[in-house]
Amino acid sequence: MNNALRILLGKDLVVLDGDGTLYIGSRPLPGAREFIRFLDEHGKRYVIMTNNSSFSKEHHIKRLRRILGRFFSYDEVFISTEAAIEYLYDTGVRRVYALGTPEFIHDLVSSGIHHDPERPEIVVIAFDKTLTYGKLVRAVRHIMAGTPYIVVNPDILCPTDRGYIPDTGSIWALIRTATGKDPMAVTGKPSSLFLNYMLRKLSVRPSDAVIIGDRLYTDIAMANENGVTSILVLTGETKIEDLVNSRYRPTFVVNTLIDLLK
Ligand SMILES: [Mg+2]
């Protein structure tokens, strides 16, 4: 058994990233199904933690079942949207204007946040695959008039079946360029807010978890900043040469999840 796997088996919780780690688009990555089966066979507790705020939680669960062939419960899947909702509640905000998909807005509204395009207390920037110029104009006008904004996840690109597509981070770049203003918070990975929200729900300490992900500036950054052991997989955005100049240091690096089982 390799060192990374031995350390992993000694932890209480395995936190798995989605896009680029377990799947790309609707296809499981090599070793993803085998790895999940291995964790189940060893009675290992694990969750999926994803920054992809374009799908509702319900949709994520359906996709995971289709892609990985296993049913995940509500407590086994965490999306950046939940961290954003937690943040809004903590700051007492109830009225927002969101750049988000109808599924994202559904999750906001069903948790008691009002979607108010006219008089928001905060503008929320999410992974809006239904973005229009009119929505951008509205968001920019609110922010320039003094309404603060938050960013649900900082990812610049999202891998899909047909290549990379612009993610929330790219929309954020446009908003920042237009307004010259920075957000009040970025709530998805690498934010400690998201990690703490999840670990609190699961009653797990950071030192008892291990994070597996494909991104240095989200998955590994969050692990580093919170004292969590991490495993970088090279099936997504990061190439081995990116490690040389990176300020983020994964505890272990493997090419694919298959290598972790060797
Ligand atoms: Mg990823």
Domain co-membership, 197 together with 161: no
Q: If pLDDT is split at 50, 70 and 90, which confidence band does 161 have?
A: confident
Q: Look at residue 227 and give its three-state secondary structure.
A: coil
- Cα three-residue angle 149-222-59, rounded to 5 degrees: 65
Mean pLDDT of 186-214: 97
Please give the Cα distance from 230 to 73 (Å, whole number).
24
**Which pLDDT score, from 0 to 100, does residue 136 have?**
98
Dihedral of CA 72/209/260/247: which sign? positive
Give the Å distance between the CA of 24 and the centre of ligand 1: 9
Domain that holds residue 10: 3-51+189-261
Give the Å distance between the CA of 110 and the centre of ligand 1: 27
Per-residue model confidence as pLDDT tens digits over 94-149: 999 999 999 999 999 999 999 999 999 999 999 999 999 999 999 999 999 999 99
Q: Look at residue 186 and give its three-state secondary structure.
A: strand
The strand pair at 252-254 and 114-115 is best described as: unpaired
Give the Å distance between the CA of 210 and the centre of ligand 1: 15
- What's the residue count for the chain? 262
For residue 63, being part of any structural domain is answered with no
Q: Catalogue the E-assigned strands of the chain.
A: 13-16, 23-24, 27-28, 46-50, 77-79, 95-99, 114-115, 122-125, 149-151, 157-160, 163-166, 185-186, 209-213, 229-233, 252-254
Mean pLDDT of 39-68: 97
186, 214, 235: which is the final residue of a domain? Answer: 186
Domain co-membership, 171 together with 85: yes
Residue 1 above 90 pLDDT? Answer: no
**Which pLDDT score, from 0 to 100, does residue 71 have?**
96
CB 234 within 8 A of CB 12: no
Q: Look at residue 218 and give its three-state secondary structure.
A: helix
186, 211, 230: which is the final residue of a domain? Answer: 186
Residue 183 above 90 pLDDT? Answer: yes
Q: Look at residue 113 and give its three-state secondary structure.
A: coil
For residue 59, being part of any structural domain is answered with no
Give the Å distance between the CA of 22 and the centre of ligand 1: 8
For residue 76, being part of any structural domain is answered with no
Q: What percent of the chain has pLDDT over 90?
A: 97
Domain co-membership, 100 together with 155: yes
For residue 91, being part of any structural domain is answered with yes
124, 158, 186: which is the final residue of a domain? Answer: 186
Q: If pLDDT is split at 50, 70 and 90, which confidence band does 159 have?
A: confident
The strand pair at 46-50 and 77-79 is best described as: parallel
Give the Å distance between the CA of 167 and the centre of ligand 1: 12
- Residue 256, domain CATH: 3.40.50.1000
For 33, the token pair is: 């199904």
Please give the Cα distance from 165 to 207 (Å, whole number).
34
Per-residue model confidence as pLDDT tens digits over 229-258: 999 999 998 999 999 999 999 999 999 999
Please give the Cα distance from 25 to 22 (Å, whole number).
10
CB 80 within 8 A of CB 189: yes
- Domains: count for the chain: 2
Give the Å distance between the CA of 236 and the centre of ligand 1: 6
Give the Å distance between the CA of 39 and the centre of ligand 1: 19
